[in-house]
Structure 1
Amino acid sequence: MTLEIWLAFVATSAVLLVIPGPTILLVVSYALGQGWRTALPTAIGVALGDFTAMTLCLLGLGALLAASATIFTVLKWIGAAYLVWLGIKLWRAGGALDAKPRTDAASSLKMLGHAWIVTALNPKGLVFFVAFLPQFIDLKLPFLPQVGVLAATFLVMAFTNVVAYALVASRARTMARSARTLGIINKAGGSLLIGAGIATVTLRASQS
């Protein structure tokens, strides 16, 4: 894997992680209700959930690549189209984030488990990983070393993102729930996702 591909993965992952979804909604709800102490357990739970989802995804991708490189390539094209569609959807989403403070006295273990379940069992997350990860896998190179680097990078970034969201939500609660702020994030992220999908298709076409 080249440094350029890895940096592209980091940049795209950063955009995807910062966009609010079910996991971030849960994290913000806990932080709004119980403060900064929720950051570590929810971050660990999200990282474990992403690890679970990515493992299931990579097992399937590995089997698919072993069966047919052509089908794997077709999946990469479909994935690029999915990124563009997701970007358009995010652009039109506005700034809605119905994060209600969770005031129930949840233990750290309960928060960890809740974050893990929400992240791991989110079907949209599995679809996302199937569409997203193949974009950065070079069929000419060994599969496992590449996905190992990508998975480790994503998990570290996911952990850091959740900690940041929890701390911001606990300290700056108005900003964390601001429709304007979330609208800007969604539009910026949507634009970058559309660009990433188009860039992937353009690059692949120039290499064919």
Structure 2
Amino acid sequence: MTLQQLIIFLPAALLLGASPGANNLLAFISATKAGWLSTAKSILGRLAAWAVLVVLVSLGLDVLLRTSEMAFVALKWVGVGYLLFLAFQFWTADVSNEIKAPDVSTLMRREFLTLMGNPKAYLLLTAFLPQFVNDTAPLVPQLFLLGALYLIAEGIAALLWVSAGSLVGAHALTPLRRQVINRASAGLMGTAALLLARTERTAQP
């Protein structure tokens, strides 16, 4: 990767990482309940999932998802089901008592599973990273390097969403406000599930 490519890659990766996808919405929602520090730690779950995806994409799983309708649909509906499950949890959460924030391990697991069940994440890597590959150099080491740089950008962008959520949560202490946030969170997760359900695979030419 040349310096010119790096200058283009990093801002583009940051913008992609900051887009309002399912994981960023989840980070925002989690931060309203668990605060900045716990939610920031949970981002490690998402980054671990991205690291797994980089390896899988480098090994060619993206080809399977782009060419196999069954594989793509199966992964997509697993992701939709998990997002709907989260939406149900938020909607039915008890707000009558003092809020009990999820522990860090639960938040990390949510981040990890939400990303792993989203086929758009796989396709994003295969559509974005190869644009910055040098044809004269070995492919796999470049993908790993680009993937590592993308993880850094993703982590920075995620922390912006965590910061925004923690600011909102700091003023959401009453049961009524907690209920409003929970219902809004359920709506956001439901919307993310709907958008994922409408995702179509891109066939391999």
Q: State the SS of the aligned residue for 2:59.
A: helix
Task: State the alpha-carbon separation in 1 of the partners of residues 129 and 165 from structure 2.
Answer: 29
Structure 1 segment 1-208 matched on structure 2, within 5 A: 1-60=1-60, 105-172=101-168
Task: State the alpha-carbon separation in 1 of the partners of residues 62 and 159 from structure 2.
Answer: 31
Q: State the SS of the aligned residue for 2:14.
A: helix
**How far is the alpha carbon of 1:63 from its aligned partner?**
8.9
Q: Check conservation: 2:50, 2:115, Cα contact below 8 A.
A: yes
**How far is the alpha carbon of 1:126 from its aligned partner?**
0.8
Instruction: Tell me the equivalent position of 1:71.
Output: none
Where structure 1 has 5 or more consecutive residues not aligned to the other structure, the ranges are 65-74, 76-99, 178-208
Task: State the alpha-carbon separation in 1 of the partners of residues 42 and 20 from structure 2.
Answer: 15
Deviations 1:138-159 (A, max 9, x none): 1111223322221111111112
Give the total of aligned pairs. 141
Task: State the alpha-carbon separation in 1 of the partners of residues 113 and 145 from structure 2.
Answer: 24
Q: Check conservation: 2:26, 2:111, Cα contact below 8 A.
A: yes
Q: TM-score, normalised by structure 1?
A: 0.60
Q: Check conservation: 1:39, 1:162, Cα contact below 8 A.
A: no
Identity %: 25
Q: Cα 1:40–1:146, aligned 2, differ >3 Å: closer, same or farther? A: same
Q: Check conservation: 1:47, 1:155, Cα contact below 8 A.
A: yes
Task: State the alpha-carbon separation in 2 of the partners of residues 126 and 62 from structure 1.
Answer: 6
Q: State the SS of the aligned residue for 1:14.
A: helix
Q: TM-score, normalised by structure 2?
A: 0.60
Structure 1 segments, 4+ long, off by >4 Å, are 61-64, 100-104
Q: Check conservation: 1:137, 1:147, Cα contact below 8 A.
A: yes
Task: State the alpha-carbon separation in 2 of the partners of residues 130 and 168 from structure 1.
Answer: 30
Q: Cα 1:11–1:61, aligned 2, differ >3 Å: closer, same or farther? A: farther
Q: Check conservation: 1:26, 1:115, Cα contact below 8 A.
A: yes
**How far is the alpha carbon of 1:61 from its aligned partner?**
7.7
Deviations 1:56-105 (A, max 9, x none): 112118999xxxxxxxxxx9xxxxxxxxxxxxxxxxxxxxxxxx698553
**How far is the alpha carbon of 1:44 from its aligned partner?**
0.4
Q: Check conservation: 1:45, 1:115, Cα contact below 8 A.
A: yes
Task: State the alpha-carbon separation in 1 of the partners of residues 39 and 115 from structure 2.
Answer: 15
Question: What code does the residue aligned with 1:18 have?
Answer: A
Q: Cα 1:139–1:166, aligned 2, differ >3 Å: closer, same or farther? A: same
RMSD: 2.8
Task: State the alpha-carbon separation in 1 of the partners of residues 21 and 100 from structure 2.
Answer: 22
**How far is the alpha carbon of 1:168 from its aligned partner?**
2.1
Q: State the SS of the aligned residue for 1:20.
A: coil
Q: Check conservation: 1:49, 1:120, Cα contact below 8 A.
A: yes
